[in-house]
Amino acid sequence: MTKTGAQVIWEVLAKEGVEIVFGYPGGAVLPTYDALLDSSIHHVRVRHEQGAAHMADGYARASGRVGVAMATSGPGATNLVTGIATAMMDSSPIVCITGQVNSGVIGTDAFQETDLTGVTLPITKHNYLVTSADELGPVLREAFYVARSGRPGPVLVDITKDAQNGKTEWVWDDRPVRLPGYQPDLRALPEEYQRAAELINNARCPVILAGQGVIMSGAMDILREFVDMTNIPVAETLLGIGGLPASHPLNLGMMGMHGEVWVNNAIQEADLLLAFGMRFDDRVTGTLSTYAPNAAKIHIDIDPSEINKVVRVDVGIVGDLRETLEILMPAIERGDRNGWVDHILEQKSEAAERDIVGQPEGGQLYAAHVINDLWKYTNGEALIVTDVGQHQMWTAQYYRPDKPRHLITSGGLGTMGFGLPASIGAKMACPDEEVWLIVGDGGFQMTASELATCRQEGVKVNIALINNGYLGMVRQWQEFFYDRRYAGTPNVNPDFVKLVEAHGLTGLRCTERGQAESLIQQARETEGTVLIEFQVVQEDNVYPMVPAGAKLNVMIRRPEPNPELASEV
């Protein structure tokens, strides 16, 4: 059947199960937007192309499906770059479709021409330049296959205008996509499983390091079975939160630079680390030369390039985590490691004495209190999206989800401005979920224009804006390491309530902790997007903190409470 390339684009998307596309039109992609009117796919017109990429990313993380973003050539396409890099660092499956100038003028510096495949080569799993309508169907199918298979990631398809306008004989081919050069052998050798089982069975002080791979492989149930059988405690990476329910007695919490004291100590004292679907990011390890010095290390990851990339391991098994654990489980013995677990929990109990949630408020509103209250009043069941900064780390510490895909955040790239568009994408992926965005006053302003998208789409996102008047995490580093020389970090902010109301949405303000419960409940009950501005203590810090270049268990900790004030609590 004869179709235009533009028609093929929408038909392939529909066949791939795409229901929503986040995009922004422009000259080089106009043929595709014209064909959109004959498609059943819902298009969300964003206010900035960066928002489109983050919405597609949030959609993918919340649903496990491929998210799709669309933009025109030149500046439209380059505005996607930060969102593509964010997805690449966090292994998020998105497909970005961009218009390109006519193939005959490529290389002539035509109006709004940019070599986008060259620009995005380092930040995509794969990318394509399509110059013929005949190529479009097969290339788009490959793009979705590559994005979702193996270690997921972003794929870019750049399509010239003449390819969109061109005619082709096209019929959907539902045969499986086969790429001969993209068929890695993920089978581990039997002796690798045997060696791993021996190390696990003989370990007295082991710790599981659970990363996002637990969630992406669907290994939550078998991880829990493994933990219950072996009695091995679990530390989570930031993106691994939710892989094991937070309420599980062997879930220790988050590791790393702002991880819990007892977690980092346990890693440093362990005799075996089991790295499940994580990549030993520098924010997790501290200085490598002193990382877990007495521990043997087992690393299971679907990406062969991650094995021995950062940390040398004793056993490296390449494969899907769920399938690998299913093979490994029969060789694993039940473990009695109560003494080791009790040792860790004793440190947790001691650290609780410094926890800010248990300290007096002194009439002030602390961000950690706000997030702990949000967890309490939503019963820990909300789907949480964060931006990047201090609020992100407080959220990881104090909002404790029991479900996977219920904490969505930019980990590897640490992208400010991610939060609002990602929360829109997450809500549109999971319309029945209660979605809360926790965001700082700095990052919020980077993509605040997407409030208009909330209004346009009738999206219900509740926003907890943590306003401390600073770029808080940068200010914290300036306090600790630059003698409180606050260069470039104080914010001159708008009236956030009025800003939200100007978009036809609801704005609320909280200045005292006693107001939090009623305002949170009001936000939950109000139709449409609601923002609560929490005016919190300006110079509070995230504790603990591992300074750059320090051992993982050498942490700056919150000062001990004043006994006289503590007696008033």
Q: Which residues are catalytic?
A: 49, 111-112, 161, 473
Alpha-carbon distance 52 to 60, whole Å? 12
Alpha-carbon distance 449 to 469, whole Å? 20
Per-residue burial over 422-449, b = 16 or more CB atoms within 10 Å of its CB, e = otherwise: bbbbbbbbbeebbbbbbbbbbbbbbbbb
User: Long-range pairs for 113-116 at CB < 8 Å and ≥24 separation?
Assistant: 113/73, 113/74, 114/73, 114/74, 114/75, 114/77, 114/78, 116/73, 116/77, 116/78, 116/156, 116/158
Helix (H, G, I), strand (E, B) or coil at 70: strand
Alpha-carbon distance 329 to 230, whole Å? 10
Using CB atoms within 10 Å of the CB of residue 15, give its burial: 0 to 12 exposed, 13 to 18 middle, 19+ buried. middle
Helix (H, G, I), strand (E, B) or coil at 346: helix
CB 306 within 8 A of CB 172: no
Name residues whose C-beta falls within 8 Å of residue 525's C-beta, 6 or more positions apart in sequence.
none
How would DSSP label each residue in 188-240?
PPHHHHHHHHHHHHH-SSEEEEE-HHHHHTT-HHHHHHHHHHHT--EEE-TTT
What are the structure tokens assigned to 310, written together?
Answer: 């950062």
Which residues face 4 on adjacent strands? 167
Torsion 519-521-525-529 (CA) sign = positive
Alpha-carbon distance 91 to 412, whole Å? 9
CB 402 within 8 A of CB 430: no
Helix (H, G, I), strand (E, B) or coil at 297: strand
What are the structure tokens assigned to 17, written together?
Answer: 């199960």
DSSP class of residue 490 equals B
- Pairing mode, strands 506-510 and 206-210: unpaired
- Would you tell me how many other CB atoms lie within 10 Å of the CB of residue 492? 5
Alpha-carbon distance 147 to 143, whole Å? 6
Using CB atoms within 10 Å of the CB of residue 30, give its burial: 0 to 12 exposed, 13 to 18 middle, 19+ buried. middle
Which residues in 281-402 belong to E strands, given as ranges? 296-301, 315-318, 383-386
> Which residue is listed with tokens 């909280």?
510
DSSP class of residue 440 equals E
Which residues face 3 on adjacent strands? 168
Q: Which of 391, 388, 429 is nearest to 409 (CA)?
A: 388
Q: Is the peptide bond before 404 cis (omega within 30 degrees of 0)?
A: no
